[in-house]
């Protein structure tokens, strides 16, 4: 249902009190009343969201502090106000500590005083949402910039990262995990540490050359480099730790989300590595199962039903000028000198789209008609709940 952004819920065990409050303030606010704590929780669950809730303290069955603590579980963003005749210090302390109360008012409360409190509560709600929206935009923008940096600086690594994200997205959906954006973002940025590695060293690694120990160690440090970069972005701490543990999964005693994310990345990376050298999905999965408890059983079960290309995708050959963000390129794209511009499995971003168009305009692409998959649905990592 569509709800008014500034709705206020009034909760009291006396209907006469609720009726009086509604008469006094209905011209100024959008009010909903609920008689008793049980009715209040039902309203929060079924009729929300509300910007503000005002509740009495002394109610049978469940007092105001207990009610607000439970209401907060349903809607943590709702601003909470306590209005009661029980104006003792301990009640106030308990209300603030357990219910995270914005204001604590004593009965009887003058209409002007309550109105001032409600205005302040609505402003607090507005500011909180503005701050959250800004943070979400900042996080999403940071993720997109980092992905574009990787796509432009290391097309092969970005192509691998997008293939890994596809596998992780499948695992998340199969396991019905909450906050899937974190796992998908970790997959998309799992290779970002390679931006610190010299191009010639990366080329030699991709060519399968044997590298001296010091150079191999430089490559192996890419998860640490990635973690240090990602820790600078708000709300990506868990993502940063997942990326760091992609080659050495965290201990089970550590954060559960980080442990699962790291082990999920490890399985997806190794699975993709087998596929990239020509193994079938079954052969890749059998190889992973031989590693004992290195991978989670649920993750391997999810990979068993994974497809490297979705059956819902439609394969087409399109000229560069008709590419758009979200298409997945199904071949290596090289310039006239044979250098890689974007790799197989690359999901087109704003940055890579502009790069391809520039090369095409200058006549420096090996070919301008590219084979792509066009997903019928597309979800961005971090899109739903980045904050």
Q: Which of 257, 275, 308 is the last residue of a domain?
A: 308
Is the same domain home to 217 and 300? yes
On whether the CB atoms of residues 66 and 37 are closer than 8 A, the answer is yes
- pTM, entire model: 0.60
77 within some domain: yes
pLDDT category of residue 2 using cuts at 50, 70 and 90:
very low
Higher pLDDT, 207 or 60: 60
DSSP state of 249: P
pLDDT category of residue 252 using cuts at 50, 70 and 90:
low
pLDDT category of residue 296 using cuts at 50, 70 and 90:
confident
320-340 pLDDT tens trace = 989 988 888 888 888 888 888
Higher pLDDT, 46 or 386: 46
32-57 pLDDT tens trace = 999 999 999 999 999 888 999 999 88
Give mean pLDDT, residues 173-178: 88
Q: Which of 130, 145, 164 is the last residue of a domain?
A: 130
Higher pLDDT, 350 or 245: 245
Residues in the chain: 387
Average pLDDT of the chain is 83
Q: Which CATH number fits the domain that encloses residue 35?
A: 3.40.50.2300
Residue 287 to residue 32: CA distance in whole angstroms? 60
187 within some domain: yes
33 within some domain: yes
Domain count, the chain: 3
| Distance (Å) of CA 328 to CA 30, 116, 140, 159, 223 | 48, 55, 20, 9, 25
Is the same domain home to 236 and 213? yes
Is the same domain home to 160 and 302? yes
What element of type H or E holds 27? Answer: none
Phi, psi of 308 (to 5 degrees): -70, -25
190-243 pLDDT tens trace = 999 988 888 788 778 877 788 899 988 888 999 999 999 999 887 889 999 999
362 within some domain: yes
Tell me what pLDDT residue 382 has. 41
149 within some domain: no
Is the same domain home to 30 and 108? yes
44 within some domain: yes
385 within some domain: no
The residues that bridge with 370 in the sheet, in sequence order, are 318
Q: Which CATH number fits the domain that encloses residue 315?
A: 3.90.105.10
The candidate with the shortest Cα–Cα distance to 313, out of 336, 333, 297, 329, is 329
Higher pLDDT, 89 or 63: 63
pLDDT category of residue 4 using cuts at 50, 70 and 90:
low
240 within some domain: yes
Give mean pLDDT, residues 361-366: 90
Q: Which of 269, 292, 308 is the last residue of a domain?
A: 308
pLDDT category of residue 378 using cuts at 50, 70 and 90:
very low
**Could you tell me the residue range of the domain that residue 51 belongs to?**
7-130
125-148 pLDDT tens trace = 988 888 777 767 777 777 878 888
Q: Which CATH number fits the domain that encloses residue 263?
A: 1.10.3210.10
Helix orientation angle between 155-175 and 111-153, rounded to the nearest 10 degrees: 130
């Amino acid at each position: 249902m569509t709800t008014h952004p500034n709705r206020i819920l009034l909760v009291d065990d006396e209907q006469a009190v609720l009726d009086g409050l509604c008469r006094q303030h209905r011209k100024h606010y959008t009010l909903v009343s609920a008689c008793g704590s049980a009715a209040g929780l039902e309203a929060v669950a079924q009729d929300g969201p509300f910007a503000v809730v005002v509740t009495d303290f002394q109610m049978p069955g469940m007092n105001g502090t207990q009610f607000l603590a439970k209401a907060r579980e349903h809607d943590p963003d709702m601003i909470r106000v306590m209005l009661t005749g029980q104006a003792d210090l301990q009640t106030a302390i308990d209300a603030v500590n357990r219910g995270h109360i914005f204001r604590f008012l004593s009965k009887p409360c003058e209409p002007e005083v309550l109105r001032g409190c409600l205005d302040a509560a609505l402003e607090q709600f507005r500011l909180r949402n503005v701050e959250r929206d800004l943070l979400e935009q900042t996080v999403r923008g940071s993720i997109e910039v980092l992905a574009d940096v990787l796509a432009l600086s290391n097309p092969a690594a970005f192509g691998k990262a997008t293939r890994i994200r596809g596998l992780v997205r499948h695992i998340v959906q199969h396991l019905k995990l909450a906050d899937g954006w974190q796992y998908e973002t970790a997959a998309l940025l799992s290779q970002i540490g390679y931006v610190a590695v010299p191009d010639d060293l990366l080329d030699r690694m991709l060519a399968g050359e044997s590298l001296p120990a010091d150079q191999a160690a430089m490559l192996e440090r890419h998860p640490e480099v990635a973690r240090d970069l990602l820790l600078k972005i708000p709300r990506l701490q868990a993502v940063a730790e997942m990326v760091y543990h992609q080659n050495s999964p965290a201990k089970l005693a550590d954060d559960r989300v980080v442990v699962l994310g790291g082990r999920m990345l490890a399985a997806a990376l190794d699975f993709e590595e087998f596929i990239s050298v020509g193994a079938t999905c079954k052969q890749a999965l059998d190889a992973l199962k031989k590693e004992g408890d290195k991978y989670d059983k649920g993750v391997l079960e999810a990979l068993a039903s994974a497809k490297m290309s979705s059956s819902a995708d439609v394969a087409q050959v399109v000229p560069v000028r008709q590419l758009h963000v979200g298409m997945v390129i199904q071949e290596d794209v090289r310039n006239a000198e044979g250098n890689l511009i974007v790799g197989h499995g690359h999901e087109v971003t704003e940055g890579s789209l502009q790069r391809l168009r520039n090369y095409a305009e200058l006549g420096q692409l090996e070919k301008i008609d590219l084979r792509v998959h066009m997903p019928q649905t597309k979800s961005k990592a971090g899109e739903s709940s980045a904050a």
